[in-house]
Structure 1
Amino acid sequence: MIPQEIIRRKRNGEELGPADINSFIAALAAGHLSEGQIGAFAMAVWFKGMSRAETVALTLAMANSGDRLQWADIDRPVADKHSTGGVGDNVSLMLAPITAACGLAVPMISGRGLGHTGGTLDKLESIPGYRITPDAHLFHKVVKEAGCAIIGQTGTLAPADGRLYAVRDVTATVDSIPLITASILSKKLAAGLQTLVLDVKVGNGAFMADRTQAEILAQSLVEVANGAGVKTSALITDMNQPLADAAGNAVEMRNCLDFLAGGKADTRLQTVVLAFAAEMLVKSGIVASSDEAEGMARRALSSGRAAEIFARMVSMLGGPADLIEKPDKYLARAPVKKPVPASRAGWLSACDVRGIGVSVIDLGGGRRHPQDRIDHRVGFSELLPLGTRVSAGEPIAVVHAADEAAAERAAAALAAHYRITEEKPEQTPVISARI
């Protein structure tokens, strides 16, 4: 294999065969390619694209570049969900134990915050002792005995993706549909899944702000995953406002515990969680219809079974066994809490979700640089949903900050991120399409 020949052919718009792609990715994973060659390949794909067959081959090659998990001794369907990222998107934290309570095995490999979006792993690290990178034996044991485990990607799963992504990040080639598709799915295939459900966000707080582009990405992910042998579907969901009524790490973990206790009924968050639970259960063959699946998920919540599974997962991965009963004992609180008053009377009609995510970072709840330490205490809670009527001075959220100055800045920023109008806005459905 001569790397520059593969790069040249892709640069010229030729279709690469599986053997070419396998050879190139094997060389990448082994460290035999320079960053210049990797960057040139990524840029050629960015300009010329890839056919569906090429994208499937790239995804499989990256999935096969390291270990692939096996679940032969688990007599449950193995399923997972992936989100393209948003603000206040803590769906995974509740979805994994709910679907485990309904009969699925859920080995959920999650990520950290990226850009303005929050990361599931950062939220879990607000739990003292929780091990986000257990060894393979413990990961397998937790999935088998608790039903689910939410952890981070290890260096042995799809290592080619890690090196390719690092180069894409500094060569302006992140936003390539084939490369995004292969990056997301290679890790999911390496996890040994039988079924997968995808949450493709669209809106001003999503990486895909344009509905057409979101649909193109969703279609690519679904077709490639199914082409690689994993039963997959996608829901396109709205990210024009935070999904939960909290944005941050410990504040979203409290939101999760409240949800599992039944405290978030009839919210947009509950709609999304139950929709994905139903999709996973039907896709895995647990039940035949979405209505039956949603009813099963609701019973898993109301019975307390989902909360029990979450508690067991946390305990088995090193966290406190009584987190559910005593969250205040373990989840750190910010020293300053400050209400954010509405600037005028009227209807909350729109918000800058990306700006809200950036405000969490400014508080210290996210990273400006990869080596930054996160303050898990900070963020926003009690965020009112769009379509709420407010009086002047009425709180639209609460800031959690490390000091008074930071709280003042964050409160002013958050207030500026919301538009209040005299007319009630039209409500946008939280789920707009299934692919």
Structure 2
Amino acid sequence: MPGNQPYVIILANGLNGLGAVRSAAHAGLKTYTLVTNHSDLCTYSRFSQYRFLLPSNPTVEDVRPLLDQLHANEGGPGVLLACSDLAAELLGQLKCEGYAKQHLVVPSTETTEVLNDKKLECQYMENGGITLPKTYYQLSDDALDSFPIIIKPRTFREYSLLGAKNVILNSIAELDEFRQRFKDHLDRFIGQEVIRGGDDNLWVCNVTFDHQQQLSACFVFKRLGTMPSHYGVTSMAISQDNEKLRQECEKIGKALNYTGPAMIEFKKDPNSDSYYYIETNPRLGMCNWFDTRCGVNNILACTHAAYGQKIALPLQKNNWVYWNFFGDLIARLENRENVFSILFRYLVVLRRRRIGALLYWKDPLPAFRYARSSIRDIAQRVGRKLRETIG
């Protein structure tokens, strides 16, 4: 590291940001946190000592003066880290304009733009020989002949248009209804065949590639639950190394000429044992605190990459469980899972070494804030169900 103390600047967002702040503290790194919401989870963390509030939809012009000031105050550059798609775009724009007062361990602007557009991403991967589920790019014209189909917005900006991160269509009738509803916006979505199998067929690799596009950190886990169920973000997972997926990540990194942190998702077909590529997020993964507690600190790996330091690929601890209790419980109740089945699953989990998504005894306040919000949410849902039953 350089003579001045290394530091990181985290463009934080929700659980991603909270985990990054904790991981940076775990590595002994000084941390500056940039948030777009004064009640973001990481603002309650005792490790988030230096915080700055950005506009809700920040631009490079909003961020650059602050980065310049931090460079001046610290007497040198830190390492910029993105925890959201928007933040990844901002860092890509900074790299494109040649910004040099902070270290940018990020892919090129072109790569980020490809990965933040599902249509471009899937076409790029298909051309690179990566195995994908059957994908439909022209929803207005393509003959969809296999159901269920998952509809994905091309970019995060279309989430509000769709009203969700994705939608599942189970029949031609549902497809026709979708086409009619979004007839003027069909070019803003793609469709993919849903690979059969439960949540435990979903795999995630949180990785870091250095400036030579070499894999410098890789943490692999298998999902055991998502929120919402089956098609959402991780609510429960178990760490399990997977050499085949490591090799796939290396292949993807080379194909994309990739530098920086990424979250790469796969799904295993239980019938063929083949792994299908789902997506790459060009930023820190949501479960990066899980990575760190299992021995693979991707925030530290990015810092080493920024300063040109070579390190051995760290080994991960296997069979540890990541658990977002309230998020997982809400998702399972919404999915109408049997209460006794949920209870049995949780009793099994209690027998393993667990890493809480939020609960950390050295940093308890974010968990209490999240729990209060979740309990209120559960109470409101139960109240609505009771009113519907009585009515």
Per the TM superposition, whether the score is higher than 0.5 is: no
Give the TM-score taking structure 2 as reference length: 0.25
Question: Normalized per residue, which structure has more helix?
Answer: 1
Give the TM-score taking structure 1 as reference length: 0.23
Question: Normalized per residue, which structure has more strand?
Answer: 2
